[in-house]
Structure 1
Amino acid sequence: MANEGFPEDLIRAERERQRICQELDRIPLRPYTDSTGTEHRPNPDWTSEHQENEHRLRTRLREVAIEVSIHPHWESLDSEVVAARMRLKRLVREEEQRQTATQEG
């Protein structure tokens, strides 16, 4: 895989960040009650296991997002940091798509 000049540990961290986001997408939306007492997204299937899993994933997502955002690689760029971060996200996403296609094919 061409890493486009990104350090391997940064790619690994972004890969984990995206994987966690995918896992969070598979958890049902948490029901909640607003300050007026109105229930939103009532879900009788929501369990304490969902809540624990969501908490664990969100905690780890914060840690990994910080790891990606403060990685020393970004300081080595003179400009276009935002564009470089988008390239990293795209690189990891496309790598995942290729792996999925290979597994399915």
Structure 2
Amino acid sequence: MTSTGETFPDDLLKLQERLHRAHAEHRAYLAGLPWSVEPVAGWSRGERFSHRGDVPDSPGWSDEQKETVDRMWAGIREFSIAVVDHPYWATVPRDAVVNARMQLKKQVRPAEPSDVTEAA
């Protein structure tokens, strides 16, 4: 039970956790990819404004990397739809749905990317 008195069904809690995990895995995967999807020449800090300093050339993403990102996004969309369309929300008063959804997100803590990579 949450601080607002909500009790969420186990399957909804599991869906929300899977959604958080999918987002964390996606963020971790993106962090390991080149900075640009397409090949782009880098630049020196003096050539353009860059808070990162010198920016190296980006070889772009491989077709496999692009497909992996697309597949990950598809999974995130599926979990998002499953959470939003869960039958539980029909039992929540319309004016309380947003707060209940926020409580669900807080109750099911997002996985940190480091947790995901260690578990893999």
Equivalent residue pairs, number: 91
Secondary structure of 2:58's aligned partner: coil
Query: Larger helix proportion, structure 1 or 2?
Result: 1
Q: Secondary structure at the match of 1:12?
A: helix
Structure 2, unmatched stretches of 5+, are 43-56, 116-120
* 2: CA distance, partners of 1:92 / 1:32: 36
SS in structure 1 of the partner of residue 109 of structure 2: helix
Name 2:49's counterpart in structure 1.
none
What CA distance in whole angstroms lies between the structure 2 residues aligned with 1:48 and 1:22? 22
Determine the structure 2 residue equivalent to 1:62: 77
Instruction: Give CA-to-partner distance per residue, 1:20-77, whole Å, 9 cap, x none.
Output: 11111121355259xxxxx6x9631622232121111111111111000011111101
Q: Which segment drifts farther, 41-50 or 85-94?
A: 41-50
SS of residue in 1 equivalent to 2:59: coil
> Structure 1 regions of 5+ residues with no counterpart?
34-38, 101-105
- Residue 44, structure 1, aligned to residue 31, structure 2: no
Q: Residue type of the partner of 2:77? A: R
What's the counterpart of residue 53 of structure 1? 68
Q: CA RMSD in A?
A: 2.8
Q: What is the correspondence of 1:7-86 to structure 2 with a 5 Å cutoff? A: 7-26=9-28, 27=30, 28=33, 31-32=37-38, 43-44=58-59, 46-78=61-93, 79-86=95-102
Q: Secondary structure at the match of 1:64?
A: helix
Amino acid at match of 1:84: A
TM-score in terms of structure 2 length: 0.63
Task: Specify the code of the residue in structure 2 equivalent to 1:85.
Answer: R
Q: Kindly name which structure, 1 or 2, has the bigger radius of gyration based on alpha carbons.
A: 2
Which amino acid in the other structure matches residue 104 of structure 2? L
**Secondary structure class of the residue paired with 1:43:** coil
